[in-house]
Amino acid sequence: MRLIERTFDYIAARQHRKRSIAAAIAVPAIVAGIVITVHSGDTLSGLAAKHCNSAAAWTSIYSANRAKIANPNLIYPGQRLAIKCSGGTAPVQVTSDTEDSPTPATPRSSGHSSARSVVATSAFQACVISRESGGNSQVMNSSRHYGLYQFAFSTWVAAGGSASLFGNASASYQTSIFWKAYALWGTSPWAPYDGCS
């Protein structure tokens, strides 16, 4: 079984690398737009909030990049995305996303780093992030619960999370697993422990 999981993870990683390379080569020209490189922890709503001043503008970014993004909950570090804001709003160029400006190293404490902020799309999600991890996507507590949503390993895997990414997943990947778990079990993995409802 572990060999099958490793093989699947290897194939998925190769496919992701191929998509990232293809995306880096074929960057569309967007009139009155900008192109950014996705970093670990980025989400479409977070990019929209940063560049369009509205997290709700994520749908415009998704529409402009449909050929590169199969699932709007899953974007990957290294992807090059066109930023197109809805309603004719011009996107804001953020200096840390330019090719010429290197991204500063994020300081690490206890082997874990704070992620870029995740823009919650529901009050329940915001409550869970706040109470479970305080927004640190890489936190691992003493009972081995991990990430923004403090997943137990068994819950992570049962909701479709890759076993090899447990303890090292991007915030956007964790969020996709959160929504899968929420679709399967509702609030039950979190509400009894953190009081969110």
DSSP per position, 105-148: PPP-BTTB-PPPPP--SSHHHHHHHHHHTTT-TT-B-TT--BTT
Q: At what angle do helices 123-132 and 171-185 cross, to 10 degrees?
A: 120
Dist CA 196 CA 189 (whole Å): 10
Dist CA 33 CA 45 (whole Å): 17
Domain boundaries, the chain: 16-97, 123-192
pLDDT per residue rounded down to tens, the chain (197 residues):
566 666 656 666 666 555 555 444 433 333 345 888 888 888 888 888 888 778 888 888 888 898 888 888 888 888 888 888 775 555 555 444 333 333 333 333 333 333 445 666 788 888 888 888 888 889 998 889 999 999 999 999 999 999 999 999 998 899 999 999 999 999 999 988 888 87
Class of 16-97 per CATH?
Answer: alpha beta
As given in the structure block, the two tokens for residue 148 are 């923004």
Beta bridge partners of 36: 81
CATH fold of 123-192 reads Lysozyme (1.10.530)
